[in-house]
Amino acid sequence: MARGTAESRIISWQGNAVGLLDQTLLPREEKEILCDTLESLWEAIKSLRVRGAPAIGVAAAYGVVLAGELSRAEDPETFAEEVRKGCDYLATSRPTAVNLFWALDRMRAALEGSRGKPVSVQREALLAQARAIEAENNAVCEQLSAHGAKLLAEEARVITHCNAGGLACGNYYGTALGVILKAAESGKRVRVYVDETRPLLQGSRLTAYELLRAGVEATLICDNMAGHVMRTQGVDAVIFGADRIAANGDTANKIGSYSLAVLAKAHGAPLYVAAPISTIDFSLESGAQIPIEERAPAEVTGWQGHPSAPEGVAVYNPAFDVTPAEYITAIICEKGVCYPPFRESLGRLR
């Protein structure tokens, strides 16, 4: 999205609804939808109309504001209880992205901080917290991107997976894509191989879309071409984002990330994970504890209503996989670059 214009419309608070750029329609159509009920926002998160860990967090924060606007309670305690139920409901939309739960916890804390005060004051506290979460997210992404850009050479060939750009974060830079954009802004020549990222094609639909709009050289490849590209074209780095990082550095990201990490190690390419500190779940000792969302078989058996597999075939459709910390060269966050052992380097960020 062009800076200073359309990126502000990825997620917005409209006074009585949450405005979202419907990412399921990209790149064919840029259309804003308005979620004026918690059910419609829940559906938007679940169906990937809004997606990417940071963006889900911001959308959920405004969803809590919406819960407050929808409440007709005049008693402060009744109002607070209704908002808490709204938080609990939104938390059921997707299980893997920790930013969803981080943002909801922030909103619950804001509600608790205004406990017993008039309903109008509680509403103001919720809106102030949601706006703070959005502003912090924007600043974090730009800081993270600047730190990561320094890791790329003056000329760099990069493979990225899924979409970790502004669309995934509700701003311009994003995380993994932000590293590339910042590097390009500084005058570095970055050429990007974009994994199409099956089965929902976030790479070809969204990452390629963002890179082309930013004027960065991008070449789309199928996921199963990555190894061939590394061997024959040469790749200087692999960069992707994260939906949750365990205390030991194990990282959950879009399905296919683990395979890319194994290939990167086999070909001697550094693997960088770019994610805000809010993505680190210090309560989890390892990636084995990260819940992995499984999605509908229809995402694999066809595309946009057109079947591509025989009816009745069994389908396994995990949305994420976990890359063990041993495959990760560094984790880039807003405070800088963390290197192994990650339990120590990440631990210093707590």
Which residues are tagged catalytic?
243
φ and ψ of 11, to 5 deg: -140, 135
Q: Cα-flanking dihedrals φ and ψ of residue 144, to 5°?
A: -60, -45
Tell me the residue length of the chain. Answer: 350
> 334 near 140, Cβ under 8 Å?
yes
With a CB cutoff of 8 Å and minimum separation 6, the contacts of 259 are 223, 226, 321
What is the SS3 assignment for 343? helix
Closest C-alpha to 73, from 120, 133, 24, 5 = 120
Helix (H, G, I), strand (E, B) or coil at 170: coil
Alpha carbon distance 281, 347 (integer Å): 11
The SS3 call for residue 75 is coil
Q: Locate 151 and state its tokens.
A: 């890791």
CB-CB neighbours of 112 under 10 Å: 11
8 A C-beta contact, residue 27 and residue 206: yes
326 Cβ neighbours under 8 A, 6+ residues apart: none
H or E element, residue 323: strand 320-323
**Computed over its alpha carbons, how large is the radius of gyration of the chain?**
20
Q: What angle do CA 333, 334, 340 make, to 5 degrees?
A: 30
